[in-house]
Amino acid sequence: MSRRNRRYAVPGAERGMQAFKAEVMRREGYNVDPSRPDDVKYEVAKDLGVPLEPGNNGNLTTESAGQIGGKIGGSMVREMIRLAQQQMVDRGGNE
């Protein structure tokens, strides 16, 4: 099965989102190569006990794949919420 083709609504946003993912996961304690932030999924999988390997992972259950994506995506969403709340505080909540 081929990799999902991600398309961002804002042209050029991919680079910023990848950098954001690398920074968030680094803060979570993962060793992230900034030039290959998607590779953090292997480290997350190892921590979760999920046998994710480069290449075909057709034997991986949907639940296992979701655990990996959920850990990464959940961390990113929590940081986005924190940043938005901080912006509201900084602006005095008048927007």
The per-residue pLDDT for range 30-77, each reduced to its tens digit, is 999 988 888 999 999 999 999 998 888 888 999 999 999 999 999 999
21 belongs to a structural domain: yes
pLDDT for residue 3 is more than 60: no
Residue 69 has phi, psi (to 5 degrees) of -60, -35
Domain of 37? 13-90
Average pLDDT over residues 2-26: 83
pLDDT band at 1 (very low <50, low <70, confident <90, very high): very low
Report helix angle 13-27 to 62-90, nearest 10: 100
76 belongs to a structural domain: yes
pTM of the model: 0.78
pLDDT band at 4 (very low <50, low <70, confident <90, very high): low
2 belongs to a structural domain: no
Number of structural domains found in the chain: 1
17 belongs to a structural domain: yes
- Tell me which amino acid residue 35 is: S
6 belongs to a structural domain: no
